[in-house]
């Protein structure tokens, strides 16, 4: 590819060349990954702080790549988003998570909700409520056991439109959570009008909660905002007992994190639920 012009130099930067090549390769692989059934979901338990009971889980996608092994979502979700592949992938995640949650209910395990992450592109697509309705009908999952996680930046981009889209989803009976709360900018004025059930406090704030007083006050503030707006407060990334104790002291409702459990395969999550409910 020898040609003159402004873009040609990139061909001669070996590092850049490698990166471009890798991305192209990953994109080709990604296009085939759905057909080849290379995606899988792990589930991270969500725990009720007051009772200690597991009340739900979050579905997190992984890619079992034939050569690279298990690829974490941060390494391919952005590319899937860019290429539009996130739309069929997101639909697969939703269907798989609902199917799984329905199975748990059939197995007479205590009712647990399942949370699914939505991407910006998926949320902007006009037919998302239809997809969710179809998947619920198809799997027979109770809508109130499905929780859809949207990020703050996704909804604050166009809050009026987002608010309407959220209402359409709420009409189906599902819950909505605002993920990574505190990392973007939120207008409290819109927040109070959104039909959101939970605020998920971003992991970055939970991290310094114990030694950093300003981190701690962000967390207590978010918890009171949530409660004042009639929402539940969920903490993510809880890694130790000190963080958990702090969260309990300020009335946080639910938590997730390595301290209780990492995201785990469906079978392990079932085993955990069974253990938890033994008398």
Cα distances (angstroms) measured from residue 208 to each of 26, 135, 211, 224, 260? 35, 39, 6, 19, 18
Contact by Cβ (8 Å): 225, 188: yes
Say how far apart CA 133 and CA 170 lie, in whole Å.
Answer: 11
Segment contacting ligand C2E by CB under 6 A, of 24-32, 47-55, 106-114, 250-258: 250-258
Q: Number of residues in contact with ligand C2E, rule: CB under 6 A?
A: 23
198 belongs to the binding site for ligand C2E (CB under 6 A) = no
Tokens of 198: 């939970």
The total number of residues shown for the chain amounts to 279
Binders of ligand C2E among residues 12 to 31 (CB under 6 A) are none
φ, ψ (nearest 5 deg) of residue 234: -120, 130
> Contacts with ligand C2E in 42-61 (CB under 6 A)?
44, 60-61
Measured at the CA of 142, the angle between CA 139 and CA 134, to 5 degrees, comes to 45
Shortest Å distance, C-beta 7 to ligand C2E: 32
Minimum distance of ligand C2E from residue 77's CB (angstroms) = 5
Question: From the CB of 41, what's the least distance to ligand C2E, in Å?
Answer: 7
CA distance 274 to 232: 26
Q: Give the one residue of 93, 148, 196, 244 binding ligand C2E; rule: CB under 6 A.
A: 93
Nearer to ligand C2E, 193 or 264 (CB): 264
Whichever of 96 and 236 has its CB closer to Ca ion, that residue is 236
Q: What share of the chain is helix, strand, coil (3-state, %, to 5)?
A: 50, 20, 30
User: In the complex, what is the shortest distance from the CB of residue 17 to Ca ion, in angstroms, rounded to a whole number?
Assistant: 32
Q: Which of residues 214-233 bind ligand C2E (CB under 6 A)?
A: none
List contacts with Ca ion (CB under 5 A).
117, 149, 179-180, 236
Q: Which stretches does DSSP call E strand in the chain?
A: 39-48, 54-65, 69-71, 113-117, 146-151, 175-181, 198-201, 232-235, 254-255
Comparing CB distances to ligand C2E, the nearer of 29 and 96 is 96
Which stretches of the chain bind ligand C2E, using CB under 6 A? 44, 60-61, 72-74, 77, 90, 93, 117-119, 179-180, 203, 236-239, 256-258, 263
């Amino acid at each position: 590819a020898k040609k003159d012009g402004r873009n040609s130099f990139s061909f001669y930067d070996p590092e850049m060349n490698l990166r471009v090549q890798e991305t192209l390769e990953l994109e080709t692989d990604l296009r085939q990954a759905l057909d080849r059934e290379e995606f899988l979901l792990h589930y991270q338990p969500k725990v009720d702080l007051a009772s200690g009971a597991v009340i739900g889980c979050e579905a997190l996608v992984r890619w079992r790549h034939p050569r690279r092994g298990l690829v974490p979502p941060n390494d391919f979700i952005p590319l899937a988003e860019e290429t539009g592949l996130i739309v069929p992938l997101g639909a697969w995640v939703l269907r798989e998570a609902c199917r799984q949650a329905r199975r748990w209910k059939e197995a007479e395990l205590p009712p647990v909700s399942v949370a699914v992450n939505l991407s910006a592109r998926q949320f902007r697509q006009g037919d998302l409520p239809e997809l969710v309705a179809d998947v619920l009908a198809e799997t027979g999952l109770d809508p109130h056991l499905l929780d859809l996680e949207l990020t703050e930046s996704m909804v604050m981009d166009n809050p009026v439109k987002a608010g309407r889209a959220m209402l359409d989803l709420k009409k189906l009976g599902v819950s909505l959570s605002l993920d990574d709360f505190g990392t973007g900018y939120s207008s409290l004025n819109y927040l109070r009008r959104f039909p959101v059930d939970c605020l998920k406090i971003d992991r970055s704030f939970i991290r310094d909660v114990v030694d950093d007083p300003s981190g701690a006050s962000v967390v207590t503030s978010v918890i009171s905002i949530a409660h004042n707006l009639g929402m539940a407060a969920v903490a993510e990334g809880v890694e130790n007992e000190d963080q958990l104790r702090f969260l309990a002291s300020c009335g946080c409702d639910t938590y997730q994190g390595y301290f209780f459990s990492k995201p785990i395969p469906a079978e392990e999550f079932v085993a955990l639920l069974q253990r938890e409910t033994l008398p």
